[in-house]
Structure 1
Amino acid sequence: MLSAEGKVVLITGGGRGIGYGIAQAFAEAGARLAITGRTASTLIEAAENLEADYGNEVMWVTADGGDEAAVKGVVEKVIEKYGKLDCLVNNAQASKSGVMLADHTKDDFDLAIGTGLYATFFYMREAFPYLKESKGCVINFASGAGLSGKIGQSSYAAAKEGIRGLSRVAAAEWGEFGINVNVLCPLAMTPGLEKWKDEYPKLYKKTIDEIPLQRFADPEKDIGRVCVFLTTDDAAYITGETISLQGGVGLRP
């Protein structure tokens, strides 16, 4: 099993869905965790479950990733508690998915850019001094919505493609400090997707049929364990890459 023993990992949106799966994978690998999000009750429940299931130390901090001062406070609290930071996982994102481009408002775009692109930028900037000390890594999240232009995902896709550009620049600028920066594009089963599956079974089946591996990813096993791998010495020469974890969707050379 991959090990993250002794490493400190900060995960945004770590209280549920893909973020919680990532937290589970890191907890199983022995990392000390900090999870953040906007809802205290979600974070408290997640932290309690992680500590009970894995025996790891887990701290939680509420914050809006689009709030520059709040992000600075999160990173400061992580350093105050653990004394270092080895990996930053920028997973959190909100958006008006399903709203067509012509119907989008500036507020809709601001939501996606603020919670996605700005949040990723703020966390990366604040984490940089500590990642420089640890020769750590950043794992950012983009989406097939941006790679292939999914209908009804204009602001979400724009934010995610912005994150990819930001990540490539960071990989180029921070390589000299031993910091790896990579992007994951997942297609994972989440509670929201489970609800969608129940409400639209025919559309769900059509979607599954279009995935070569015939399933959605498991957030812990298929997404989280790749994140853990990216923190290991075996991944030390991987940086600036976009890694698609979509079961073969959108195959490209």
Structure 2
Amino acid sequence: MTDGLAGKVALITGAGQGIGQGIAFSLAKRGVKVVAVGRTLSKCENTVAQIKERFGQEALAIECDISNLDQLPGVVEQTVNTFGRLDILVNNAVSATIKPLIALELEEINRAMVTGPTATLLMMQAAYPHLKTNGGSIINMASSAAKRWDMTNYGLYAAEKEAIRALTRTAASEWGQYNIRANCILPHAKSPALAWWTENRPEEAAAFVKTIPMGRIGECEDDIGEFVAMLCSDQSRYVSGQSIAVDGGQAYMG
């Protein structure tokens, strides 16, 4: 049995580094044509260059800051114009503000909601008619922040991620009739964002790792990317509307 991924096309936001890049590599090694989207073009071009070197696979880099909402439909259009189809959408790019609720400013709240649920929804809407053609898979990034035993300082970040989970579940319900699957993952990975957090909050980061039963942070490609590839494959064709923690056993999703 094959995984059914060869020849498909995936659009991945935030693919210039970290988790997005790891997912891009794992899909490309299975014959998926990847469109790497990010606000820093050089990083996306680096991802594309590595895909071509490692896997000999076609790929395209597109510069786009997802907070520029009017640009999002054009990213999908450019993807389809280049490769003729779209089968997989990975909404990975996001911003994070970590501070007490009382200290949050309107600009920060708006930015979180724009780059989180709003951009995610608009990308799904733009991708919908193309995913509807042959069926497809949507992977959105959530977080276990809302499952923390102490959510101090993480309220806004958790809120934007929980909104994304709600949108994902709704897409699975409304679009399942067209064989469009939508799932969320809640990942822990050695990304630049996590490296920044570890450097700036070392005590909190050390305590955090101790709560992971497997005792380690995941690898962007070998752990997160490989799981996403499986979730997009034919082997997972009956999985939709789920939020799955890919975190070494830390989060309880019940």
User: What is the count of residue pairs matched by the alignment?
Assistant: 252
Closer, same or farther in 2 for the Cα pair 1:207/1:242, shift >3 Å? same
Closer, same or farther in 2 for the Cα pair 1:187/1:55, shift >3 Å? same
Measured against aligned partners, the alpha-carbon deviations of 1:148-175 in whole angstroms (never above 9, x if no partner) come to 3632122211111100111111100001
Aligned partners of 1:216 and 1:231: how far apart in 2?
23
Deviates more, 1:60-69 or 1:240-249: 60-69
Aligned residue for 1:238?
239
Measured against aligned partners, the alpha-carbon deviations of 1:99-122 in whole angstroms (never above 9, x if no partner) come to 111100111111111111111011
CA positional deviation for 1:35: 1.0
Aligned-partner SS, 2:60: strand
Aligned partners of 1:199 and 1:119: how far apart in 2?
28
Aligned AA for 1:157? A
Aligned-partner SS, 2:67: coil
Q: Runs (4+) of structure 1 moved beyond 6 Å?
A: none
Aligned residue for 2:95?
94
Q: What 5-or-longer segments of structure 1 have no aligned partner?
A: none
Deviates more, 1:242-251 or 1:78-87: 242-251
Aligned residue for 2:136?
136
Q: What 5-or-longer segments of structure 2 have no aligned partner?
A: none
Aligned partners of 2:35 and 2:236: how far apart in 1?
22
CA positional deviation for 1:250: 2.6
Aligned-partner SS, 1:180: strand
Closer, same or farther in 2 for the Cα pair 1:217/1:6, shift >3 Å? same
* Residue 157 (str. 1) matches residue 154 (str. 2): no
CA positional deviation for 1:48: 1.5
Closer, same or farther in 2 for the Cα pair 1:130/1:185, shift >3 Å? same
Closer, same or farther in 2 for the Cα pair 1:219/1:109, shift >3 Å? same
Aligned AA for 2:243? T
Aligned residue for 2:52?
51
1:171–1:180 contact (8 Å) kept in structure 2: yes
Aligned-partner SS, 2:6: coil
Closer, same or farther in 2 for the Cα pair 1:163/1:192, shift >3 Å? closer
Deviates more, 1:36-45 or 1:126-135: 36-45
Deviates more, 1:14-23 or 1:204-213: 204-213
TM-score by length of 1: 0.93
Aligned-partner SS, 1:4: coil
CA positional deviation for 1:27: 1.3
Aligned AA for 1:26? L
Deviates more, 1:242-251 or 1:124-133: 242-251
Aligned AA for 1:182? N
Aligned-partner SS, 2:186: strand
Measured against aligned partners, the alpha-carbon deviations of 1:204-240 in whole angstroms (never above 9, x if no partner) come to 4322221100001111111111111122111111110
Aligned partners of 1:73 and 1:175: how far apart in 2?
25
2:131–2:137 contact (8 Å) kept in structure 1: yes
Closer, same or farther in 2 for the Cα pair 1:195/1:69, shift >3 Å? closer
In the TM superposition, 1:136-215 aligns within 5 A as 136-148=136-148, 150-197=151-198, 202-215=203-216
Aligned partners of 2:83 and 2:124: how far apart in 1?
18
* Residue 114 (str. 1) matches residue 104 (str. 2): no
CA positional deviation for 1:252: 4.9
- Give the aligned CA root-mean-square deviation in angstroms: 1.8
Aligned residue for 1:64?
65
1:84–1:134 contact (8 Å) kept in structure 2: no
TM-score by length of 2: 0.93
Aligned AA for 1:75? V
Aligned partners of 1:165 and 1:199: how far apart in 2?
31
Deviates more, 1:185-194 or 1:54-63: 185-194
CA positional deviation for 1:202: 4.8
